[in-house]
Amino acid sequence: MEKIKSTLVFSILFMAVINISCSKDDEMTAFTDERDGKTYQLFEYGNQVWMGENLNFASDGSWSYENSSAHADEFGRLYNWNSAVNSCPNGWRLPTHQENSTMVDNLGGIEHAGAALKSSEHLGLALGGYRSTEESFEEVGNVGVYWSGTETEMDETAGPAESAWNLAIYNMSDETRQRRVQKDYGFNVRCIQD
């Protein structure tokens, strides 16, 4: 009888250890992009999985700030919109304007969400600057601008889908802004899992 009890206790403990080990190992905390071998930390927000770092995949229509690989390593690359929608790895995409709006609302609204979005406890969005339509690099360390996957028109006179929504955060403010801008700007990208 003692042997049966010992075996039973050992079996229960063994299964508990296996269960705990498997559940921790099954949680995905990083993603390696097969295209270039770069690894990105992941961030879970609600029921969504986001890359916890800016995309740094070299593609046509993307640039490193001032053509510096050190900037790209720290802040990711800047993409025009057409490149951005095609640069996320297979199984990943740009967040929609609505997904960004919902996240901003849940993190305190446009007046306060910037603090949370910049925090490493949340997405840790970097202030990677941007590339202007005149092809100059601007505002690294002061502003971070991120493409959404949602196309729009600048105004009623604009042609169909000449612009897209973005999300901007600022160094000296906790505010966020979402604006419609021309697709040929160069902004950062955070991919979200499909």
Q: What is the predicted pLDDT for the residue at 79?
A: 99
Tens of pLDDT, residues 103-155: 999 999 999 999 999 998 888 999 999 999 999 999 999 999 999 999 998 76
Domain that holds residue 148: 30-193
The SS3 call for residue 100 is helix
pLDDT at 162: 86
Whether 66 is covered by a domain: the verdict is yes
In the chain, the N- to C-terminal Cα span, in Å, equals 54
Q: Which residue is it, tokens 């095609």?
A: 86
Instruction: Classify residue 87: in a domain, yes or no.
Output: yes
Domain assignment present for residue 98? The answer is yes
Our count of domains for the chain comes to 1
Please say if the pLDDT value at position 41 is more than 70: yes
Share of the chain above pLDDT 90, in %: 77
What are the φ/ψ torsions at residue 134 (nearest 5 degrees)? -90, 10
Establish if 5 belongs to a structural domain. Answer: no
Q: How many other C-beta atoms lie within 10 A of the C-beta of residue 112? A: 15
Per-residue pLDDT tens digits for 6-24: 444 444 433 333 333 333 3
Tell me how far the alpha carbon of residue 120 is from its chain's centroid. 12
Residue 25 lies in a domain: no
Percent helix, percent strand, percent coil in the chain, to nearest 5:
30, 30, 40
Name the pTM for this structure. Answer: 0.83
